[in-house]
Copies of this chain bind each other. A is one copy, B any other.
Amino acid sequence: MSADDPIDRRPPNADGTDRKPKERRKKLKAKIRELEAEIAETRGKAAEEEPLYGLTPRVEAAVVRALAQERAAVIPRLLRPLHPADQADLIERLDAGQRSSLFAALGAAFNPEILSYLDETVREEVVDLLGEEQITSFLPEMDSDDAIELIGELDEEEQARILKALPAKDRVMLEEGLTFPEDSAGRLMQREMVVVPTHWTVGQTIDFLRTFNDLPDDFYDIFVVDPAHRPVGELALSRLLRSKRPMRVSDIMHRDFRKIPAAMDQEEVALLFRQYGLVAAPVVSEDDRLLGVITVDDVVDVIHEEAEEDIMRLGGVGEIDLYGSSWDTAKARFPWLVVNLATAIAASMVIGAFDATIEKVVALAVLMPLVASMGGNAGTQTLTVAVRALATRDLTARNAAKFVAKETLVGSLNGLAFAALVAATSMVWFGDLHIAWIIALAMVINLVVAGLVGTLIPLGLDRFNIDPAVASGVFLTTVTDVVGFFTFLGLATLILL
C-alpha cells in the first residue's frame, strides 16, 4: 500500500487545478477498495500466524499506522473483529497520544466491556478520556462486579456525581456493593443469579428459566433458598436437566456446599476454590442471606493477581508497573531502594569496625563478599519457600517448628559443603591455611543463620499480620550481610592479629 493519506482531504481546487466531483469520488472509492483489501489481508495473515489470539503484530501495526496517518474511519473497522480483551491489550500498548486519537476515532464504537480487561493504571487514564457522562451510561450495561470495580476506583466526588445520575435500581445496587471492603468476596461476587424456593419442582424451574427474561447470560448453578432467602442447596444445571419434571428441587439439590461470607478477603476465597475445586459458591450476608455468587472464572484473576503480588513484593517492586511513566516508576521503586541503602550502610559499618584488620591483611577485603553473598542466596531460597507456603496455607503455626528445624539442618548441610569449597578456593588463591579455616567457619555459621532467619522472619511477620512477601527480603539480607561480615572479619581479627 502507499504511504500517503488515503482519504483526500484537500479542499477542491486547493492546488489550483480544476478537479471534478466525479473524479474525486472515483479516487475515494479506489482508496476505500485499497483499504478494504488491506484490512482483509491483515486479518487473513493474522489468522495464519497466531489463530488463537486476536491481537496479532499485524493488526497492531495496522492500527498504529492508521493512527499516525489520521485515518480515523479505519479504526473502528480494525477493532470490531477483536475480542474486548484484545482491544484492551491494544489500548495498553499505545502511548498517551495514540490513545487519545484512538478514542476520538472510536467514539460510540467503544465497547464498555473493554474496561474490565484493562490494567488499572491504563484504566484510570481511559476513564478520564471517556468522561463522566459516558461512564454513567456504561455502568447499567456492565456486570455488577465489573461496574462496582470501575466506580470503586474513582474519587469520592466523582462517585457521588455518577451515582446521582444513575437510575435508582442501579444506584442502590452499586451503593450496596461499595459498602463491602475492597478485595472482599462482596466486591468479587455477581448479583445476577438464578434463585428458586425449596418447594419448586424441576418442571416449574425449567418453565421459569424458559419464560423469565432477566436472567444472567450464562450460569451453571441454580441456588435454592428458604423463605428467609438463606441458601439451603446448590443445583448444577446438568443435574436439573437430567431429572424428571415432577421431582422437587429440594430432593435433587446438593446440600453440602460452602457459603462464603461477604466480608471474606478475596485471597481466602481463592484458596477455598482451589482447595475444593469449586466451580461456583454462594456469598452470604452476616445473617446468612444469599447476596450473590462467585464463579471460578472470577477466581482465576484473583489467583493470578495474588501470586503476581507476591512475586513483585519479593522482587522489591510495589506492583507491576509496565504501563506507568519512567518518572512514576522510579518514584515508586525509590523507597525500597532507600531501605536497601540503609541495610547496606549497616553492613558497611560492620566492615568499618574491622578496618585495622583489613589494612593488615588485604586478602580479607577480597574474600569477604563470598561469605555475605552465599548467606544471602541460601537465605533467599529458604525465604521464598516460606513465603509461598504461608500464602497457600501449607505452612501454619502447626508445622512451623518442624519447618524451622528442617531449614536449619539444610543450612548446616550446605554450609559444610560450601565451607569446604571456599576453604579450598582461598587456599589456592592466597595459600594461607588460617584464612582458609576462618572463611570455612564463617560460611558454616552464616548458612545456618540464613536457614534459621529465612524461616523465622516470614513466620514472625505473618504472626503480626504483615505480608511476609513485602519485607522479608530486606530483613534477611541485612542479617546475612551483618553476620557474614562480622563472623568472617571478627574471626580473622581474633586469629590473625
Please give the residue numbers on chain A whose beta carbons come within 8 Å of chain B beta carbons, in ascending order. Answer: 52-53, 57, 60, 83, 85-86, 92-93, 206, 209-210, 215-220, 236-244, 258, 260, 272-279, 296-297, 299-301, 303-304, 307-308, 310-312, 314-317, 320-322, 326-327, 329-330, 333-334, 336-338, 340-341, 344-345, 347-348, 351-352, 355, 358-359, 362-363, 365-370, 372-374, 377-378, 380-381, 383-385, 387-389, 394-395, 398-399, 403, 406, 409-410, 413-414, 417-418, 421-422, 425, 429, 481
Additional 13 contacts, C-beta under 8 A, given A311-B311, A312-B384, A314-B384: A57-B398, A86-B275, A210-B242, A273-B300, A277-B300, A312-B385, A320-B389, A326-B413, A341-B421, A345-B425, A348-B367, A351-B366, A359-B362
How close is A430's CB to chain B, nearest CB, in angstroms?
A: 9
The 3 closest A-B pairs by CB, nearest first: A315-B384, A307-B307, A330-B413
The binding surface of chain A is classed by DSSP as: helix
Residues in B with CB closer than 8 Å to A297 are 277-279, 296
How close is A264's CB to chain B, nearest CB, in angstroms?
A: 8
Query: In the complex, A444→B187 CA distance in Å?
Result: 44
Interchain CB contact under 8 A, A336 and B377: yes
User: 13 interchain pairs (CB within 8 A)?
Assistant: A52-B258, A86-B275, A209-B238, A218-B279, A274-B301, A279-B297, A320-B385, A337-B378, A340-B373, A348-B370, A351-B369, A369-B481, A373-B481
Closest to A64 in B: B398
Query: In the complex, A355→B429 CA distance in Å?
Result: 13
How close is A419's CB to chain B, nearest CB, in angstroms?
A: 11
Residues in B with CB closer than 8 Å to A304 are 274, 303, 307
Residues in B with CB closer than 8 Å to A414 are 330, 333-334, 337
Known: A307-B304, A385-B321, A413-B326. A369 touches B352 (CB 8 A): no
Residues in B with CB closer than 8 Å to A237 are 220, 237-238, 241
